[in-house]
């Protein structure tokens, strides 16, 4: 897929990522900061999974900046291993969204970071850098920090000790208003606006609990074993184990390999519905099934799986015209769902997101999952369709799966993942 047209996209992607750079001095941290924001004005802070995606793209043409994305996230890692999903390096940014910041932190007028997590793809980002550079010095420097981060997840986010980690707010999956959470929030899929409000109620309650995880788990209003978060978690534990093996840290490599094996066994046992051939989240202490078909249910494709499961995910769902096979695939919600909406509902100029449109980061995972299982032709086709979206509508945040129309801010950082699709 190389050629002049592709080169143009690559050049544009560079312009987007360099254009979103934020550089300055952070007073509260007493240190300089430098990171690529998801979208300079609309999303000015540093976000965890965005930075990991940026690093993966940057690894193709600017290793130092790729490393910097990761090092910047880890600069404020807590001694217990936790890494937040947002870092507010810049002070004094005013906007209505900032009013909501304290909900994602402990009560404070001016929080410095959130207290939430995001999908843990740090190891994947480090692996992308390592594959290009083959510099073990970087691994020696960074893997102890990664190990402490993944140990924190395993220790603090698995209250029932089944190997799967739990999220405590919709924002932790990065899929803020996904209808997969509607049943958890007591909704029936018919109202995007209520989904948005209910999500804020969850973070409000978390804030009241001062983000004390024991209290939050005991209160049991939003505990979700999320299929996408756990698929990414498992894949990343496997990668971390391999990277530790590269530097002969065999004991730690075994530890993470075992954590991954346990989590994967549970994911298949608890989240796979063999009648439907699809994966669903589990929620609450009773582990109810959140039976809403979203793209999250296809994410286990990034893992080794029994062939029968792969076949059903791919032919019964991913390539079903009634569900995910739309002209500009892959929609984040199956079109057969009541909650599916090809265009976002907008309130007060803000779109309610993840309720149908196509996103490039989720496509990137599905492309990789297809390749992993030998569906090379299908992976290539989906990569091409993703590139078409960018050609037609630019690096927007997300897209209409029927028309390809772009929504959300332009020059959106992780939409440059098409570069990785072109070059890998």
Cα distance between residue 123 and residue 111, in whole Å: 27
Residue numbers at the binding site for ligand GLC (CB under 6 A): 38, 43, 47, 49-50, 174, 176, 353
User: Nearer Cβ to ligand GLC, position 128 or 352?
Assistant: 352
Cα distance between residue 323 and residue 318, in whole Å: 7
Q: C-beta of 177: minimal distance to ligand GLC in Å?
A: 8
User: Nearer Cβ to ligand GLC, position 163 or 413?
Assistant: 413
User: Nearer Cβ to ligand GLC, position 50 or 225?
Assistant: 50
Q: C-beta of 207: minimal distance to ligand GLC in Å?
A: 18
Cα distance between residue 66 and residue 69, in whole Å: 5
Q: C-beta of 64: minimal distance to ligand GLC in Å?
A: 23
Cα distance between residue 372 and residue 45, in whole Å: 33
Return the closest-CA partner of residue 332 out of 366, 364, 294, 381: 294
Q: Are 392 and 29 in contact (CB under 8 A)?
A: no
Angle at 267 between CA 263 and CA 272, to 5 degrees: 170
CA 421, distance to chain mean position in Å, is 17
Q: C-beta of 286: minimal distance to ligand GLC in Å?
A: 28
Q: C-beta of 43: minimal distance to ligand GLC in Å?
A: 4
User: Nearer Cβ to ligand GLC, position 38 or 331?
Assistant: 38
Burial environment of residue 117 by CB neighbours within 10 A (0 to 12, 13 to 18, 19 or more): buried
Q: C-beta of 408: minimal distance to ligand GLC in Å?
A: 9
Q: C-beta of 410: minimal distance to ligand GLC in Å?
A: 13
Residue nearest to ligand GLC (CB): 174
Angle at 86 between CA 85 and CA 92, to 5 degrees: 170
User: Nearer Cβ to ligand GLC, position 260 or 389?
Assistant: 389
Q: Are 80 and 122 in contact (CB under 8 A)?
A: no
User: Nearer Cβ to ligand GLC, position 272 or 299?
Assistant: 299
Strand ranges of the sheet holding 224-225, from the earlier edge strand across to the other edge: 224-225, 281-283, 288-290
Q: Are 193 and 352 in contact (CB under 8 A)?
A: yes
User: Nearer Cβ to ligand GLC, position 222 or 272?
Assistant: 222
* DSSP element (H, E) containing 281: strand 281-283
Return the closest-CA partner of residue 35 out of 70, 59, 76, 62: 70
User: Nearer Cβ to ligand GLC, position 39 or 139?
Assistant: 39
Q: C-beta of 350: minimal distance to ligand GLC in Å?
A: 10
């Amino acid at each position: 897929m190389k050629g002049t047209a592709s080169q143009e996209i690559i050049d544009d992607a560079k312009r987007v990522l360099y254009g979103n750079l934020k550089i300055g001095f952070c007073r509260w941290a007493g240190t300089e900061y430098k990171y690529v924001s998801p979208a300079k004005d609309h999303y000015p802070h540093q976000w965890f999974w965005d930075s990991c995606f940026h690093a993966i793209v940057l690894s193709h043409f600017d290793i130092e900046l790729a490393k910097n994305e990761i090092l910047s996230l880890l600069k404020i890692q807590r001694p217990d291993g936790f890494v937040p999903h947002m870092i507010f390096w810049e002070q004094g940014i005013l906007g209505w969204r900032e009013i909501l910041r304290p909900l994602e932190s402990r009560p404070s007028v001016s929080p410095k970071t959130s207290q939430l997590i995001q999908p843990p793809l740090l190891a994947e980002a480090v692996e992308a850098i390592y594959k290009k550079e083959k510099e073990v010095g970087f691994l020696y420097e960074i893997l102890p920090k990664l190990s402490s981060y993944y140990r924190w997840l395993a220790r603090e986010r698995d209250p029932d000790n089944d190997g799967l980690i739990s999220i405590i707010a919709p924002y932790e999956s990065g899929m803020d208003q996904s209808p997969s959470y509607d049943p958890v929030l007591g909704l029936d899929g018919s109202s995007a606006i209520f989904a948005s409000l209910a999500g804020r109620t969850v973070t409000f309650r978390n804030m009241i609990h001062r983000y004390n995880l024991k209290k939050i788990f005991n209160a049991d209003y939003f505990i979700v074993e999320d299929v996408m978060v756990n698929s990414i978690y498992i894949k990343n534990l496997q990668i971390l184990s391999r990277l530790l093996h590269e530097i002969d840290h065999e004991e730690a490599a075994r530890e993470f390999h075992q954590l991954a094996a346990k989590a994967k066994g549970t994911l298949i046992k608890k989240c796979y519905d063999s009648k439907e051939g699809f994966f669903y989240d589990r929620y609450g202490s009773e582990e109810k099934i959140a039976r809403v078909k979203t793209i999250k249910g296809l994410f286990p494709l990034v893992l080794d799986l029994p062939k029968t499961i792969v076949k059903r995910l791919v032919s019964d769902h991913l390539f079903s015209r009634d569900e995910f096979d739309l002209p500009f695939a892959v929609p984040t919600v199956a079109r057969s769902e009541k909650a599916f909406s090809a265009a976002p509902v907008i309130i007060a100029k803000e779109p309610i997101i993840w309720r149908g449109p196509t996103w490039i980061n989720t496509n990137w995972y599905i492309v990789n999952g297809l390749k992993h299982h030998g569906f090379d032709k299908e992976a290539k086709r989906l990569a091409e369709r993703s590139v078409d979206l960018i050609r037609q509508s630019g690096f927007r945040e997300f897209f209409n799966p029927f028309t390809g129309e772009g929504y959300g801010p332009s020059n959106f950082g992780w939409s440059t993942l098409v570069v990785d699709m072109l070059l890998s």
